[in-house]
Structure 1
């Protein structure tokens, strides 16, 4: 018996000596595995400590902390087991326990920890298509016979945001996005004059939303809905009028009326409200994600400043153009990069008994 203890001490001294003199940490990990399989559990922490302090790479640390977790569970040291498992999660926040493969005591231990990131940051860019919802039609001719036609134009947007994870499925998000949007308009005035108009807007959107997501390990689809407001930075209009004059259909002379872009900012509301809903999918890339996102934004407010609707003399007298009251809707497609801010932590037990005791506590 004494001889066996002496031999084991000599073995450990040999192991440590070899470590000091350049033994690879990969070999140290092999020795720890062999000791675990042989049931020599109490020596494993001492074997692994030198390389855990200096030497192991991330993958080796993950396996070392896994061995330590199982070791401490076997020798009935739950506090050290929890500490080792938490250190494992800090090395790999996305570490997944397989209930069918892993020991039941480790599965039970894993349920005491939460790895869902508290915060998630991301950046996105993409393109959009604007549509117009006319509230009330205005014009210089008989609007009852109006031949107005609005068409969406392509634009772009980029920005970023963050989310606070409420639990494993729900999160609350806030974004700040820069956008450029555009649409075109055509009409026939007085049965013969052709009028065209295109507006290009730039601004900032600030959407707030509630998101629900599913977790399929590599792929995480989600849906969300919310509200927000936008601030208009600039609005420019390009207007063209083909003025046809003459006494008959065959004698009409076309007089094009054109000019530089018209500043529309004064006849636009700077702040507008919108509702939005969307869906997308996150694809895991290491400990980060690539995201593809589709969104529909429905305007909730009139973009026209009604008090200034007839004050732009260039639009009114040169082109015979009066803005309709309207809301802008928008479809967008974006791609981006998601950075979860991991902080593995032990789940704190909610004490219902303690909560009620505070209510009914007698002074």
Structure 2
């Protein structure tokens, strides 16, 4: 007996949603028919039930659109505003269609549909480029044969965009990057530049960096695609730097390789630096969010070699106070015979990401940051 009761309950539960869906389809067809025939006053009551529960999201958008137009035609501005707000909450960037009446177009111009803020996450790759400011070395610096080669690095970025309007926004990033480059050199050339000893150095330098870029962004408001450009400033902090060093000494027919070793050289790198950033990208609307691709160039402005600590280990007082602090730098300088030149570092990055815009549809007379600024300058002009 109990089994039959439970079976009956399950059947009822399964049939209820399909019955509701069927009813909403009928209501939607009826509302469309009434709208075409001009029987506008009955439409709100026909749609109200399924707007609460029954329509899908896209169906609700169309239903609110029909309600807004209906209220505009029957001269009910309060109903039209409420219905249009309901539409914008579901589709904040609703675009007026060519078939929409001029009354709906005029109403849409009274509302702000720009996101207040947008959250972004992105990740990708970078290449680092070294610019030598002046050359240091144990031999004749003029005969230096050093080569710096960009290597693949990685970026992970979280962002906040503060929107002033559809075109202009302020971007703030938290960017964590792994930047790498390779250094090769032959030591002890003779005066004519011939590599007699052919001692070969190879260093792969990798730095973990955190930065806080701040920039002004200009976005073209398309329909599906939104290209943008931006520029700004980035303070940077070097968390650590290591170098995988190898050195091969060749004397006549004898080769004396020194085994590769990873050394912590953070001590001889400046922790803080500054950069100018320039970038461009393309967003594509995906449902009610966005996916995007971004290209950014970061121009390093500061010297990265810490010349004050480069040879600190030679000061016996400092060395004796903390020998372990200088262990890797001593090996780097004396065993692998690497004397760093002064340099700056820039990088080019390519990232892919996702955007979550946060909307609050509202009438343009509402208080906004941009509106407050306009009002301030407007009052100032009047006083003058």
Q: How does 1:14-33 map to 2 (within 5 A)?
A: 24-33=23-32
Q: CA shift at 1:274, angstroms?
A: 0.9
Alpha-carbon distance change, 352 to 207 in structure 1, aligned in 2, over 3 angstroms: closer
Q: CA shift at 1:132, angstroms?
A: 0.2
Task: Check the 8 A contact 2:246/2:261 in 1, yes or no.
Answer: no
Q: CA shift at 1:326, angstroms?
A: 0.7
Match of 1:69 in 2: 68
Match of 1:239 in 2: 245
Give the counterpart of 1:107 among 105, 108, 111: 105
Q: CA shift at 1:357, angstroms?
A: 9.7
Match of 1:227 in 2: 233
Match of 2:129 in 1: 131
Alpha-carbon distance change, 75 to 353 in structure 1, aligned in 2, over 3 angstroms: farther
Q: How does 1:1-363 map to 2 (within 5 A)?
A: 24-98=23-97, 100-191=98-189, 192=197, 193-245=199-251, 251-311=252-312, 312-348=329-365, 356=379
For 1:105 and 1:32, locate their aligned partners in 2 and report how far apart those are by CA, in whole Å: 20
Alpha-carbon distance change, 129 to 254 in structure 1, aligned in 2, over 3 angstroms: same
Q: CA shift at 1:243, angstroms?
A: 2.1
Match of 2:318 in 1: none
Q: Secondary structure at the match of 1:260?
A: strand
Q: CA shift at 1:236, angstroms?
A: 0.8
For 1:327 and 1:205, locate their aligned partners in 2 and report how far apart those are by CA, in whole Å: 16
For 2:67 and 2:294, locate their aligned partners in 1 and report how far apart those are by CA, in whole Å: 42
Structural RMSD (CA): 2.3
Task: Check the 8 A contact 1:310/1:322 in 2, yes or no.
Answer: no
Task: Check the 8 A contact 2:110/2:364 in 1, yes or no.
Answer: yes
Task: Check the 8 A contact 1:243/1:254 in 2, yes or no.
Answer: yes
* CA deviation map 1:304-351 (0-9, x unaligned): 112111233212221221111111111111111111112222111769
Q: Secondary structure at the match of 2:142?
A: helix
Match of 1:248 in 2: none
- How many residue pairs get aligned? The number is 335
Which stretch of the first structure deviates more once superposed, 27-36 or 88-97? Answer: 27-36
With normalisation by structure 2, the TM-score equals 0.82
For 2:105 and 2:57, locate their aligned partners in 1 and report how far apart those are by CA, in whole Å: 22
For 1:352 and 1:320, locate their aligned partners in 2 and report how far apart those are by CA, in whole Å: 65
For 2:246 and 2:178, locate their aligned partners in 1 and report how far apart those are by CA, in whole Å: 22
Q: CA shift at 1:39, angstroms?
A: 2.3
Task: Check the 8 A contact 2:280/2:296 in 1, yes or no.
Answer: yes
Q: CA shift at 1:127, angstroms?
A: 1.0
Structure 2's unaligned 5+ residue stretches are 1-18, 190-196, 313-328
Alpha-carbon distance change, 326 to 254 in structure 1, aligned in 2, over 3 angstroms: same
Q: CA shift at 1:80, angstroms?
A: 1.6
Q: CA shift at 1:79, angstroms?
A: 2.0
Alpha-carbon distance change, 36 to 173 in structure 1, aligned in 2, over 3 angstroms: same
Q: CA shift at 1:94, angstroms?
A: 2.5
For 2:227 and 2:364, locate their aligned partners in 1 and report how far apart those are by CA, in whole Å: 25
* CA deviation map 1:244-283 (0-9, x unaligned): 33xxxxx342221235211111111111111111111111
